[in-house]
Amino acid sequence: MKIRQATVKDKKEAMAIAKSLNEWFNKDGIKNMAIDFKMNHVIVAKEKKKVLGFLSYTTYSGKMLLLWMGVYKGIQRSGVGKALVDWLVKESKRFKLYSIEVETLPEEDIYKPYERTRAFYYKNGFERVLYKKARVKGWDDQIVLEKKIK
C-alpha cells in the first residue's frame, strides 16, 4: 500500500468511497467535501492502482487540521486509516506543528457509526479538548479532538 498526494482521478475515486459511506456522510457533507477537496490537500492510500482510503487536511496557525477521512467499507479495520494518520503525523513533524485537530460528533449524540469513528481517533492518540455548540440551524454539535505532536 502506498500513500501519496491525490491526482484529480484519485480524488474522484475518493469521492466515490465517501458517497458509499452514507452512514457517516450525508448529502451536505458530500457537497462540502467536494469543495474542501478542491481547496485543500488530499492524500490517498492506494494498492494495485486502486484508492482504498483518503484523508484531506490543511494547516492553520501552527496546527494541522484533519478535514475528512474515509476507508472503503470492505477493508475497514485493516490498518488503512492508521497508515493515513501516521502519514499526517510525519508531515506535521516536518513542519514542526503543535498538533493535529479534528472535529467529530460528540458522545452525547447517540449514533453507532460515530462511536466507531471516535474509537478510531482515541486509539490513535486523539483526546477530546472542546465541545462546540451548533450555531446554525441544521448543523450538529461537534467536539474537537487533538493529537499533540511530540
Ligand X SMILES: CC(C)(COP(=O)(O)OP(=O)(O)OC[C@H]1O[C@@H](n2cnc3c(N)ncnc32)[C@H](O)[C@@H]1OP(=O)(O)O)[C@@H](O)C(=O)NCCC(=O)NCCS
Chain contacts with ligand X (rule: CB under 6 A)? 21, 24, 68-71, 76-82, 104, 116-117, 119-120, 123
Q: 96 or 146, CB closer to ligand X?
A: 146
Q: 43 or 69, CB closer to ligand X?
A: 69
Closest alpha carbon to 103 in 139, 137, 141, 136: 141
Q: How far is the CB of 105 from ligand X (least distance, A)?
A: 9
Q: 79 or 140, CB closer to ligand X?
A: 79
Q: How far is the CB of 37 from ligand X (least distance, A)?
A: 13
Residue at shortest CB range from ligand X: 81
Q: What is the per-residue DSSP string for 52-100?
A: EEEEEEEEETTEEEEEEEEE-GGGTTSSHHHHHHHHHHHHHHHTT-SEE
Which cell is 46 given? 492506494
**Triad 57, 15, 55: Cα angle to 5°:** 25
Contact 106, 122 (CB under 8 A): no
Q: How far is the CB of 1 from ligand X (least distance, A)?
A: 11
Q: How far is the CB of 47 from ligand X (least distance, A)?
A: 13
Eight-state DSSP code of residue 108: T
Q: 65 or 97, CB closer to ligand X?
A: 65
Q: 96 or 131, CB closer to ligand X?
A: 131
What distance, in Å, lies between the first and last C-alpha atoms of the chain?
Answer: 26
Q: How far is the CB of 96 from ligand X (least distance, A)?
A: 25
